């Protein structure tokens, strides 16, 4: 779905450059959107941090500060958790609300976001660096659809009645877990917010959500919409802050019932440990990946090259599920590499607010340095640099679209998550071999196979140890389809009906009856 929307976008983009008066669906952006909210959002109110501290958020296209934002620390987390706990108390407006009304509120939030989507897309692009055409045509509609999807689930998440042995009537209730801590990353700020709030609120929980320090702004605007559409106070609390302070405070808080984290595997380990050493809060994790994209020799070459390019380079390479190990069957390998390099050279890197731009900057200096470091290691370890390999502009965090051929499985660039516009293309001979090599990783988030052969498609998709397997496509997401990782790519699934499990406590109620009958 992401892919389909994207191909509509790229058609629009190429049409735009040719024909000035075409009915472009993407409105010209305001390149300096106002920041209306920069405080902490607790109990439907805007507050300064208790410490008074603020931190800057940077525009990655220029390296300049956009504004200061209130910085939450442990004390603010404490206040937010109290607010969320109050909002969850038995008899509270949120607990007494019809499930269908929770769904209605989520739908209204979706409507409000849709109404303000041009502005939100501008703010997202300013803070994250992703091209505006993508924020507007992909991120925002996907956010709206996710919230509407979960709005629809609110009154449909049913327990069971159970034919238990004995003179009893037995049923289960699907109850909310309680106060949920949610820590989200910077690569899809609005979308990650929707993926977290949707299922948590549909099932009746209350939330303390910490945004990534690189991208706090759009969530704060959504907070104002949460209040506007009528969520009771304390149900959603949004804190900007740093991982080691505010994030850690959430993960180890004794009165947070569950934590959901999306981010690096490295920090995922810390979150799980914090749960174990505090109150054993339930943990779900969406972590990193080094996803294999397998191209068989009978694949449609043109399609496979374009999709593989998209699979790696989308969102400046900053996707947990990026297809960062492209395995190409030997007899089509050379042509594939050549075509991939040619496509990467054509990738338009530039100002995110320019509608022709395909690739914006990386999100910050740290990521920028890290990616350049990986590129160096690729060169050092003997991979063949086909194109790119360096910085793309004088200011901001732009990196050239980079392609390495002749990559070996044991190279650092083939094992570690780069999270940047660096493509690794590896050669394989047989199906059994590539499945073994593809699975030889601590990660297991996504995978893909390109082939026309029905038996090969089934064999590979069944054999790969990955939470999502795409066949003849990549990065196809839907609010309806569960997403998550095997192994160190995470625990639990988000999206779909499965996504509700993570936010539910099942209560079994057993009533003695005078005489059971079937």
* Binding interface with other proteins (CB under 8 A): 99-100, 103-104, 107, 145, 148-149, 151-156, 158, 169, 454-455, 458-459, 462-463, 478-480, 497, 511, 513-517
Task: Mention every residue, 6+ apart, whose C-beta is less than 8 A from residue 23.
Answer: none
β-bridge partners, 236? 207
Closer of 40 and 110 to other proteins (Cβ): 110
Which tokens belong to 483?
């997403």
Residue 369 burial by CB count (10 A; 0-12/13-18/19+): exposed, middle or buried? exposed
Q: Measured between alpha carbons, how far is residue 473 from residues 42, 306, 312, 450, 451 in Å?
A: 42, 10, 13, 7, 10
Residue 103 burial by CB count (10 A; 0-12/13-18/19+): exposed, middle or buried? buried
Min dist. Cβ of residue 514 to other proteins (A): 5
Asked if 26 and 139 touch (Cβ cutoff 8 Å), the reply is no
Catalytic residue numbers read: 286
Closer of 84 and 147 to other proteins (Cβ): 147
Alpha-carbon distance of 293 to 311, in angstroms, equals 8
The three-state secondary structure class of 90 is: coil
Closer of 103 and 421 to other proteins (Cβ): 103
Closer of 63 and 152 to other proteins (Cβ): 152
DSSP 99-116: HHHHHHHHHHHHHHHHHT
Min dist. Cβ of residue 433 to other proteins (A): 16
Alpha-carbon distance of 294 to 347, in angstroms, equals 22
Closer of 1 and 16 to other proteins (Cβ): 1
Min dist. Cβ of residue 49 to other proteins (A): 38
Which tokens belong to 57?
């958020």
> Beta strand pairing status for 161-162 and 490-491?
unpaired
């Amino acid at each position: 779905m992401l892919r389909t929307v994207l191909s509509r976008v790229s058609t629009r983009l190429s049409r735009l450059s040719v024909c000035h008066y075409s009915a472009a669906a993407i409105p010209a952006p305001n390149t300096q959107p106002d920041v209306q909210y920069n405080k902490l959002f607790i109990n439907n109110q805007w507050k300064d941090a208790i410490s008074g501290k603020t931190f800057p958020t940077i525009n990655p296209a220029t390296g300049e500060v956009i504004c200061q934002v209130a910085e939450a620390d442990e004390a603010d987390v404490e206040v937010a958790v109290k607010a969320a706990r109050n909002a969850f108390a038995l008899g509270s407006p949120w607990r007494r609300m019809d499930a269908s009304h929770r769904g209605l509120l989520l739908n209204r939030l979706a409507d409000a976001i849709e109404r303000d989507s041009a502005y939100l897309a501008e703010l997202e692009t300013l803070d994250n660096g992703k091209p505006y055409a993508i924020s507007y045509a992909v991120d925002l509609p996907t956010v709206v659809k996710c919230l509407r999807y979960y709005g629809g689930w609110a009154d449909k998440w049913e327990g069971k009645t159970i034919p238990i042995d004995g003179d009893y009537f037995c049923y289960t209730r699907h109850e909310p877990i309680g106060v949920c801590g949610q820590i989200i990353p910077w690569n899809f700020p609005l979308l990650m917010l929707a993926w977290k709030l949707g299922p948590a609120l549909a099932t009746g929980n209350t939330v303390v959500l910490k945004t990534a320090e690189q991208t706090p702004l759009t969530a704060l605007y959504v907070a104002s919409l949460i209040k506007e559409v009528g969520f009771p106070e304390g149900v959603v609390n949004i804190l900007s802050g740093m991982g080691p302070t505010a994030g850690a405070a959430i993960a180890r808080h004794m009165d947070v019932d569950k934590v959901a984290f999306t981010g690096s595997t490295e920090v995922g380990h810390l979150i799980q440990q914090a749960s174990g050493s505090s109150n054993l809060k339930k943990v779900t994790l969406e972590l990193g990946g080094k996803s294999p994209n397998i191209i068989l020799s009978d694949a449609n070459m043109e399609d496979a090259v374009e999709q593989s390019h998209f699979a790696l380079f989308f969102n400046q390479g900053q996707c947990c599920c990026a297809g960062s190990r492209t395995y190409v069957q030997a007899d089509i390998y050379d042509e594939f590499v050549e075509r991939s390099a040619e496509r990467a050279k054509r990738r338009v890197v530039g100002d995110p607010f320019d509608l022709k731009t395909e690739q914006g900057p990386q999100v910050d200096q740290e990521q920028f340095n890290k990616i350049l470091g990986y590129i160096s290691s690729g060169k050092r370890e003997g991979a063949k640099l086909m194109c790119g390999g360096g910085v793309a502009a004088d200011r901001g965090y732009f990196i050239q679209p980079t392609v390495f051929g002749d990559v070996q499985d044991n190279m650092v660039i083939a094992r570690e998550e780069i999270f940047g516009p660096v493509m690794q293309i590896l050669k394989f001979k047989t199906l059994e071999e590539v499945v073994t090599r593809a699975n030889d990783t601590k990660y297991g988030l996504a995978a893909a196979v390109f082939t026309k052969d029905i038996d090969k498609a089934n064999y590979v998709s069944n054999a790969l140890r990955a939470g999502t397997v795409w066949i003849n496509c990549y990065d196809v997401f839907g609010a309806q389809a569960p997403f998550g990782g095997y192994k160190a790519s995470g625990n639990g699934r988000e999206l779909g009906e499965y996504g509700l499990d993570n936010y539910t406590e099942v209560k079994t109620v057993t009533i003695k009856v005078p005489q059971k009958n079937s």
